[in-house]
Structure 1
Amino acid sequence: MRGNFKLAIMLIFTITLTMGCSDRSDTHQAADESSENVELTISAAASLKDAMDEIQNNYVKEHSEVALRINFGGSGSLKQQIYQGAPVDLFLSAAEDKFAELVDEGMIEGKDSADLLGNELVLIVPSESDITNFQDLETTEVNTISIGTPETVPAGEYARESLENIGIWENVKPKTVYAKDVRQVLSYVETGNVDAGIVYKTDALISDKVKIAATADPNTYTSITYPIGIIKDSEHYEAASDFYSYLQSDAARQVFEEYGFTVN
């Protein structure tokens, strides 16, 4: 009987010791994880690339523990990737409707979203071109014009909308070359592969190989707004929230304005 009692005491002691070691191990592991570097994945509209590259460099200088991996592309394609479960922490869209779909699905919460920027739509041509307005696109001198694929590229959607509203879309449509994003449109015009393209003003300003032939009447297309939001399932919510706030800071606003964006 006494032997059984001693055995029971030893068993209880062993279990208690094991649990204590486990607790200390878990605490130590949590501390290790909190001290590790964090990599944030950001999906951003292609038109944001130059401004975001500069902001990224500025941010990591002040936050050495954070690495930023930015995936640029058409907002529609980026939205679809997030919807299908891509591990993204922040989404910067060039279209409110694409962004709103994720909000409606509960993938971005209203408290973690904001309208960040605005932009303008312009017609660009090679530097030596004689094209001076949108109506010139209907002439026989213009063989090709590029816009982003309207279904996945907001700039393309805005471009088609504007051309429809000024009454020339049906004549221009057969000449249209569609691009995967707004930067590809810019590239087509820079290389002379097309006679003209419709892009955001901010894209036109970064190139010395093209010129702005005309600015689209803002009444002919939906107002261009860039919303930003934290993905609800982000594994690094705290770090994502900090960068989300930084993008709305005076330091980031100054960079965006330098690249031609209007800041909300």
Structure 2
Amino acid sequence: MRVSTGLLNRRLFGKAALAATALGLLIGISPQARASDNTLVLAAASMKDSLEEVAKLYERNTGKKVALSFAASSALAKQIEQQAPADIFISADLDWMDYLAKRDLIKPESRSNLVGNRLVLIAPKADASPITVEKGNFPLLQRIGNSRLATGEPNSVPVGKYAKAALTHLGIWEEVEPKLVRAESVRSALTFVSRGEALMGIVYETDAKVDKGVAVIGTFPADSHPAIIYPIARTATSKAPDAQAFLDFVKSPAAFDVFRKYGFSAAPAPRG
């Protein structure tokens, strides 16, 4: 399915408005949740399926409840800065955890690197022919043609920042930038491609695995972008009595088995 630039822009405007509303509802934890002792977790959108399964496993093992909210790491960090209720934050990059750390909004002793991921190029399954992803031989523009490339907003959303770094390293960022669909989260970028509203997308490998409407057509070299690392920490205002217990469980071998099933890897060492 191909759509005109004008129609796509109108759709994007409408979806942006809906996304803003949805984010407000997502982060606006209910009064019942605020009043309870439940651990409240704000996590990167790319962790949704895996973390939901980890939380169910924790609840079965302990009988304790966990409330989860998912969005772009940038949006979640800003919400924590604005005093949104939260006990644990999981970011899709180090930058947004650093952002909160510099403002004394996390408990530094609780911080660690949880898992890693890979950056991939996707297309709707109907257009899923492989493409070479390497410097000097990456025909992305030719394949995109008059369509669009969906990824996260490169100025804030982690997947978009990784995508910009990779495309810059590969020498085609300036040519590709005008064709971007700048999504508010990696899951939104995934949806644009799955629905055929963008011919290709740059997302995490784990997101591509959970959407049957897309296929991975290329993987970006690990050295083309900063290492993809998901840090986890308790917030400075965390008061839930079981927050540390859930954080410890998320870091356990049982939880890592779940993350690995969804395509996450062990957290890599940061690259300079």
Normalising to structure 1: TM-score of the pair? 0.82
1:97 aligned residue (70, 86, 95)? 95
**Residue aligned with 1:111, SS:** helix
Task: Provide the rounded CA distance (Å) in 2 between the counterparts of 1:131 and 1:113.
Answer: 38
Write the letter of the residue equivalent to 2:196: G
Partner of 1:242: 245
Task: Provide the rounded CA distance (Å) in 2 between the counterparts of 1:62 and 1:109.
Answer: 26
Once the 2 structures are TM-superposed, how far is the Cα of residue 47 of structure 1 from its aligned partner?
0.3
1:149 aligned residue (141, 153, 156)? 153
Question: Per the alignment, do residues 140 and 224 of structure 1 end up closer, same or farther by CA in structure 2, a change over 3 Å counting?
Answer: closer
2:264 aligned residue (258, 261, 264)? 261
Task: Provide the rounded CA distance (Å) in 1 between the counterparts of 2:143 and 2:183.
Answer: 22
Identity across matched positions, percent: 34
Structure 2 matches for 1:98-137, cutoff 5 A?
A: 98-129=96-127, 130=129, 132-134=131-133, 135-137=138-140
Partner of 1:17: none
Contact 2:124 2:199 in 1 (8 A): yes
Task: Provide the rounded CA distance (Å) in 1 between the counterparts of 2:242 and 2:65.
Answer: 10
Partner of 2:27: none
Partner of 1:77: 75
**Residue aligned with 1:128, SS:** helix
Contact 1:46 1:182 in 2 (8 A): yes
**Residue aligned with 2:55, SS:** helix
Unaligned runs of 5+ in 1: 1-35
Partner of 1:210: 214
Once the 2 structures are TM-superposed, how far is the Cα of residue 37 of structure 1 from its aligned partner?
5.9
Once the 2 structures are TM-superposed, how far is the Cα of residue 163 of structure 1 from its aligned partner?
0.5
Contact 2:144 2:200 in 1 (8 A): no
Partner of 2:270: none
Question: Per the alignment, do residues 37 and 173 of structure 1 end up closer, same or farther by CA in structure 2, a change over 3 Å counting?
Answer: closer
Once the 2 structures are TM-superposed, how far is the Cα of residue 211 of structure 1 from its aligned partner?
1.1
Partner of 2:47: 48
After superposition, the CA RMSD in angstroms is 1.5
Structure 2 matches for 1:193-208, cutoff 5 A?
A: 193-208=197-212
Question: Per the alignment, do residues 122 and 102 of structure 1 end up closer, same or farther by CA in structure 2, a change over 3 Å counting?
Answer: same
Partner of 1:59: 58
Equivalenced residues, count: 227
**Residue aligned with 1:88, SS:** coil
Task: Provide the rounded CA distance (Å) in 2 between the counterparts of 1:187 and 1:133.
Answer: 23
Task: Provide the rounded CA distance (Å) in 2 between the counterparts of 1:110 and 1:40.
Answer: 18
Once the 2 structures are TM-superposed, how far is the Cα of residue 207 of structure 1 from its aligned partner?
2.0
Task: Provide the rounded CA distance (Å) in 1 between the counterparts of 2:190 and 2:217.
Answer: 14
Do residues 225 (structure 1) and 224 (structure 2) align?
A: no
Question: Per the alignment, do residues 217 and 140 of structure 1 end up closer, same or farther by CA in structure 2, a change over 3 Å counting?
Answer: closer
Once the 2 structures are TM-superposed, how far is the Cα of residue 103 of structure 1 from its aligned partner?
1.3
Task: Provide the rounded CA distance (Å) in 2 between the counterparts of 1:173 and 1:120.
Answer: 21
Question: Per the alignment, do residues 37 and 98 of structure 1 end up closer, same or farther by CA in structure 2, a change over 3 Å counting?
Answer: closer
Where does structure 1 differ by over 4 angstroms across 4 or more consecutive aligned residues?
none
Contact 2:151 2:180 in 1 (8 A): yes
Once the 2 structures are TM-superposed, how far is the Cα of residue 131 of structure 1 from its aligned partner?
5.4
What are the superposed Cα offsets for residues 162-215 of structure 1, whole Å, 9 maximum, x if unpaired?
101101111111111111100111111111000000000111112222111110
Write the letter of the residue equivalent to 1:87: P
Task: Provide the rounded CA distance (Å) in 2 between the counterparts of 1:259 and 1:140.
Answer: 29
Once the 2 structures are TM-superposed, how far is the Cα of residue 140 of structure 1 from its aligned partner?
6.3
What are the superposed Cα offsets for residues 120-167 of structure 1, whole Å, 9 maximum, x if unpaired?
100001112145235332116532111101223100100011101101
**Residue aligned with 1:38, SS:** coil
Question: Per the alignment, do residues 99 and 141 of structure 1 end up closer, same or farther by CA in structure 2, a change over 3 Å counting?
Answer: closer
Normalising to structure 2: TM-score of the pair? 0.80
Task: Provide the rounded CA distance (Å) in 1 between the counterparts of 2:139 and 2:198.
Answer: 14
Contact 2:72 2:184 in 1 (8 A): yes
The structure with more radius of gyration:
1
